């Protein structure tokens, strides 16, 4: 099998990479395990200095990395540069805070001295997706390496150039050889990697279907796993919301990364008192987004990452329309070359439709009219997913109380849901378990060790 780098804007093959054999893969894992023996003994100061250099490498090369993302998975180049900057930010964050986060915690007990220490566990496997091909990796790698672990990356098969560029960031920064490596393998070889005794834990960001497979194998091997899976985030507009601001932010929240984001707003739940006014403003904002070549500085929406993904999205739209939904904007793939799906708004969305129950991974907004705030909450929670959510109201205390009742890992009041190195990130229900980022994230892959001394 070959790993293919394909430009979704032109559907032209950029480069082909031969997949590694099981023997080649195991050999690299052996080297990474060997590197762990010395890496774990380095001081936080040594790790921090190298992680700061990685942040600088990212900033120095953000134009190159933004271009690679644009060519390989269709991200508008401005967004790719911003993603690279965010990766540098998370490197700096853990370089500055890891030592404090993992400081021994003194606990009073029947001992003369007792405390909890946080020790590295070894090599962690990261199975990562294509949609934020740099950010998803660095939000794992920065805390894992700062904790004294080593890492191996199995990236999505359609972004091999991104995967190799990420490995090269750590090389350029001067990290010891084999502390972080990219495995050039497809999905069929993941089980074998998890089975390898030298892999101590696994983290995955992806679909709930992929999460179930990885969790099952990790469970069978008694290895810790963290899963960040899909989302169908509610974006709730109460009757006292700022209509124009929420509509403008909602358009961005739905179409960011060409709609290919787990925490993109997907279900717009609007109280009927402001429904018509809000929908008019929302449609105007969505229609104003510029779709085009991701290498064009002015493009705000690029192509979908692959043709099969675009076709799957369109199938969900068609099935929803067959069941009674209406497309008041978009609704069909753009004709011609490239995997472009125009920003789309579906109204009259009801239970039983894909647009109501499923994750639509593209720039398609499902708009649902409700009677009042209580019905809005009921609809918001009427989903198997629980990653993020947003609520809009001029009464921030009311919004905060509403947010606390939403079944999601993160809820934003009067704002666009986003990840931030300072705040924990993750979901509930079939959106996964465990947390990334903040001090919670760095403690997912450590041995929380009790020391008792008499």
**Residue-wise pLDDT tens digits, 326-344:** 999 999 999 999 999 999 9
Q: From the CB of residue 454, how many other CB atoms can be counted at a distance below 10 Å? A: 7
Give the predicted TM-score (pTM) of the model: 0.97
| Residue ranges in 74-154 assigned as alpha helix (H) | 77-101, 135-146
Write the CA distances from 185 to 132, 156, 189, 372, integer angstroms. 19, 9, 6, 50
CATH code: domain 2-229+429-453 is 3.40.605.10
CATH class of the region 233-413: alpha beta
Mean pLDDT of 413-438: 98
Query: Which residue out of 72, 83, 228, 444 is catalytically annotated?
Result: 228
Structural domain spans, the chain: 2-229+429-453, 233-413
Query: Which residue out of 91, 255, 262, 339 is catalytically annotated?
Result: 262
| CA separation for the pair 263, 278 (Å, rounded) | 22
Task: Give the SS3 label for residue 429.
Answer: helix
Any catalytic annotation for residue 262?
yes
Q: Is the pLDDT of residue 1 over 90?
A: no
Are 147 and 442 in contact by the 8 Å Cβ rule? The answer is yes
What percentage of the chain has pLDDT greater than the value 90? Answer: 100
**Residue-wise pLDDT tens digits, 152-200:** 999 999 999 999 999 999 999 999 999 999 999 999 999 999 999 999 9
What percentage of the chain has pLDDT greater than the value 70? Answer: 100
Burial class (CB in 10 A: 0-12, 13-18, 19+), 130: buried
Burial class (CB in 10 A: 0-12, 13-18, 19+), 155: buried
Distance of CA 146 to the CA centre of its chain: 20
| CA separation for the pair 368, 379 (Å, rounded) | 9
Are 5 and 158 in contact by the 8 Å Cβ rule? The answer is yes
Q: Is the pLDDT of residue 401 over 80?
A: yes
Q: For CA atoms 277, 408, 82, 96, give the dihedral sign.
A: positive
DSSP letter (8 states) at residue 417: -
């Amino acid at each position: 099998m070959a790993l293919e780098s394909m430009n979704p804007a032109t559907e032209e093959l950029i480069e082909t990479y031969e997949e590694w054999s099981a023997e080649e893969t195991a050999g690299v894992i052996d080297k990474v395990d060997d590197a762990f023996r010395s890496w774990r003994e380095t001081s936080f100061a040594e790790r921090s200095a190298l992680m700061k250099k990685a942040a600088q490498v990212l900033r120095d090369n953000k134009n190159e990395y933004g271009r690679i993302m644009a060519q390989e998975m269709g991200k508008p180049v401005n967004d790719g540069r911003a993603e690279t900057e965010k990766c540098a930010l998370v490197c700096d964050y853990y370089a500055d805070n890891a030592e404090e986060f993992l400081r021994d915690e003194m606990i009073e007990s029947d001992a003369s001295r007792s405390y909890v220490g946080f020790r590295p566990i070894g090599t962690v496997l990261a199975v990562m997706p294509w949609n934020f091909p740099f950010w998803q990796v660095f939000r794992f790698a920065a805390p894992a390496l700062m904790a004294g672990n080593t890492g191996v990356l199995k990236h999505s098969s359609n972004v091999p150039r991104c995967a190799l560029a990420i490995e090269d960031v750590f090389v350029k920064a001067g990290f010891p050889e084999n502390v972080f490596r990219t495995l050039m393998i497809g999905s069929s070889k993941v089980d074998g990697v998890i089975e390898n005794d030298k892999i101590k834990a696994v983290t995955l960001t992806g679909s709930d279907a992929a999460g179930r497979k990885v969790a099952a194998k990790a469970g069978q091997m008694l290895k810790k796993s963290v899963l960040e899976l899909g989302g169908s985030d509610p974006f709730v507009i109460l009757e006292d919301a700022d209509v124009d601001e929420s509509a403008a932010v909602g358009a961005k929240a739905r179409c960011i990364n060409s709609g290919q984001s787990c925490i993109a707003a997907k279900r717009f739940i609007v109280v009927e008192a402001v429904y018509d006014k809000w929908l008019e403003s929302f449609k105007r904002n969505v229609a104003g987004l510029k779709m085009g070549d991701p290498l064009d500085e002015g493009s705000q929406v690029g192509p979908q990452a692959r043709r099969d993904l675009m076709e799957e999205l369109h199938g969900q739209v068609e099935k929803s329309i067959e069941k009674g939904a209406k497309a008041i904007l978009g609704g069909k793939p753009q004709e011609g070359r490239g995997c472009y799906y125009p920003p789309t708004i579906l109204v009259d969305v009801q239970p039983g439709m894909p647009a109501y129950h499923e994750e639509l991974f593209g720039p398609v907004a499902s708009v649902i009219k409700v009677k009042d705030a209580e019905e809005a909450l009921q609809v918001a929670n009427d989903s198997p997913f629980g990653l993020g959510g947003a609520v809009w109201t001029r009464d921030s205390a009311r919004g905060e109380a509403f947010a606390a009742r939403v079944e999601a890992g993160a809820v934003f009041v009067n704002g666009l849901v986003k990840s931030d190195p300072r705040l924990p990130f993750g979901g509930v229900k079939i959106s996964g378990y465990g947390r990334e980022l903040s001090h919670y994230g760095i403690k997912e892959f450590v041995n929380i060790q009790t020391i008792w001394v008499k």
